[in-house]
Amino acid sequence: MSDEAVGMIWTALPFLSLLAKTSAGAMADYLPPLPPNTCFFHFPLDIKKIIIPFPHSFSSLLLAKTSAGAMADYLRAHRAIFLSAVVVMGGALTGIYWCPDVGKDSTADFAPEGLSVSNSSRVEGGLAEGGEKSLVDRYEFWLLSILLLLQFCGYMVVLDMEETVCFQMLGDKAHKYGLQRLWGTVSYGVTAVIGGALGYDQKDYLPVHVMVVVALVLDVVVVTRLKFTVPDKKISSTDVHAVFKQPSVLLILMTTVVLGTCGGMVSAFYLLLVEDTAALWSPSFAYLKLLQGLLLGVQCLASEVPCLFLAGKIIKKLGYAASFSLALLGFCLRLCLYSCVSNPWWFLPIELLHGVSFALALASVTCFANSVTPAGAEATMQAVFGSAFHCASGLGGLVGSWLFHVTNGWWRAFFAMGSAVGVYAVLFTIIHVVLTRVGCGKPAVQKEKGGDGSETPTGCCEC
């Protein structure tokens, strides 16, 4: 598949997943909770044998996920939504593996003479008009797009439910969220190494697919046995509206979008910058794949894991506003340093800033959403702030590509983005100070009623 086809699909996915994230949250909080050890399907994993243990068909549930985000909190079925999202994601991944190829013969014609398809997207002029028309007319393209949409939406919903259930299990120890989330980063690094070893120098990725299916089956087993409580109170639109009427919450929500945009630009164009830098440094640079692998290792193990381990203490010590400012400055410094690199090996120490930028931002956004959550709206608030952070990655791709064309180069694009984030960090700090002076800088920390009727705070620290 050509770079243009990949870009078209992955630009649309974050925006479309916004519907899934915001609908699954309200649905989970409205449906009656499922008891532990409830399983959705008969083994082996077969999406045709799914049994929904509540009076809603699977297709209706999927439609609700992709159309009305806040229904997750209204239906009060966190476990049901969690399991459904995992099954949808597994089924979509299986379909992606068996999906017919878009056709190398149709995409090879897109590249100008003398250039490979993989590099054609960087050539001025882009995709030929005839090639673009041929691409959108192929059923394989739309089949793959739909499967990727289902997989991406399922993944986004799983993220929301993981965080919601995690905070429900932590209770008044919400500051330990980072200690739980870091295991996701560890598993990401470990499975990336294992998957790379299984698929190394092979055209058939069946071993990797089998590994994913086994992991998802184990995920379902774990989710069915998790023991957590769901508040009896259903979501109240009045309570949710009251939260978002607070100026400080709106400021944090806007900052979340900015942080997500920065992360999206990095994930979309960072490796392209590394490739171009390596090519300029040495046209025969033979360690590109090694360097890229080391960069991912530094991101996960040397930067993100330690930062998540300390995230609770950092947020508790500094507060939310200072933590968000630190994450903004981390992105500012990181993006600006990218623009100054001439030797590709210097990207390795710069990636140590991944923790103080992305990881701290993720922990701050998630904990802040939990701290302002009204009773009965746990999944909804995680969906709203999660959408602002994760779905802004699509906006990051658009902003990055626009900056590339305006500034005529990745180096200038990253410097422009880093400078803009630095300016926003200063504005964010000033606005927060002003709101604090007028008495609006500290959002009301919501309370939720426990099973015995007593009220317990859900926030992990002050703003």
pLDDT in tens, 125-165: 444 444 445 666 778 888 888 888 888 778 878 888 888 88
SS3 assignment, position 449: strand
| Under 8 Å between Cβ of 141 and 102 | yes
Give the type of residue at 444: A
Name the least confident of 215-229, 255-269, 330-344, 426-440: 215-229
Check residues 434 and 156 and name the one with the higher pLDDT.
Answer: 434
Q: What is the CATH number of domain 3-102+138-457?
A: 1.20.1250.20
Give the type of residue at 53: P
pLDDT for 70 beyond 60? no
pLDDT for 326 beyond 90? yes
How far apart CA 36 and CA 171 sit, in angstroms, is 18
The pLDDT value given to residue 204: 67
If you average pLDDT over each of 7-16, 143-152, 205-214, 269-278, which comes out highest?
269-278
How far apart CA 462 and CA 35 sit, in angstroms, is 34
User: What's the mean pLDDT in 422-442?
Assistant: 89
How far apart CA 80 and CA 53 sit, in angstroms, is 8
Check residues 20 and 425 and name the one with the higher pLDDT.
Answer: 425
Check residues 48 and 312 and name the one with the higher pLDDT.
Answer: 312
User: What's the mean pLDDT in 3-15?
Assistant: 56
Per-residue confidence band for 45, with pLDDT thresholds at 50, 70 and 90: very low
According to DSSP, the residues that pair with 455 across neighbouring strands are 449
The residue assigned the tokens 């926030």 is 459
The pLDDT value given to residue 444: 57
Q: Per the structure block, which two tokens stand in for 189?
A: 């690094």
pLDDT in tens, 282-304: 988 888 888 888 888 888 888 99
The pLDDT value given to residue 114: 41
pTM for this entry: 0.74
Per-residue confidence band for 246, with pLDDT thresholds at 50, 70 and 90: very high
The pLDDT value given to residue 160: 80
Which ranges in 226-359 belong to alpha helices (H)? 237-244, 247-281, 288-297, 305-318, 320-338, 347-350, 353-354
Q: Where do the structural domains in the chain lie, given as residue ranges?
A: 3-102+138-457
Q: Per the structure block, which two tokens stand in for 307?
A: 């930062």
